[in-house]
Amino acid sequence: MDGRPHNGVNLLIKNVCLFFAFLWPEYLSAAPAPTLNQLPPIIPLHQELTAVNYFREGQQTGCGLRATGEAEENVWLNVLISVFMKETGFTFGIFKVSAKRVMMKNGAPLIQNGRIIYSSIGKIHKAWLTTQSGEQPELYKNGEMQHIDGYMASIKFVSAMDLLAAIPRASFKVGLIQKEGDAGEIYEFDERIEPREANKLLTCMKNLRNTIDEYRNGKRS
């Protein structure tokens, strides 16, 4: 795969983004790109973009996109952007980055029950994400949270929606700093979402829109 969508995928992704713009026009906003250091980006292997669904009592309460890829030194990256609606009706987003290292023995991955064994690289002091068009997570004040195996931050719903619309269409970069003061590393994801996963995301967003509408209509009645 050359990292560029064929016409059918292009049309599907365009429809997904038009759907976002139609349903959430008040949430689409431009975000300034962060100042990047000059480290050359690492291109992960075996990249994959998958849609994520969240439910509560059978009702759609969240949607997301997960990007995974294999980096240097047997590191497996996991990047997640999600949007949620709480029981209170509050909407927000989550930006999470974690990384695991393949456990090796005698130059080969350790296998247990037919699956490769991973170990966490530990906490990540800081992480950032920016798309080719400049969207980036807009954190809530004090939104960064301690996470045992990576980095997680609560972000504004508007920002998460911008990212969910932008990530399927173009490349994006993720930066990681494991310890304060370190130079960190930059990883570039340049693959595109598959039509099946784009359809899953579209269906999820429709269902979430219905959940939000039902909550708002219930509050008005």
Measure CA 200 to chain center.
15
Could you tell me if 147 and 96 are in contact, meaning their C-beta atoms sit under 8 angstroms apart? yes
Each residue's pLDDT tens digit, 17-29: 454 444 443 333 3
Domain ranges of the chain: 7-220
C-beta atoms surrounding 172 within 10 Å: 22
pTM for the model: 0.78
Each residue's pLDDT tens digit, 65-103: 999 998 877 788 999 999 999 999 999 999 999 988 878
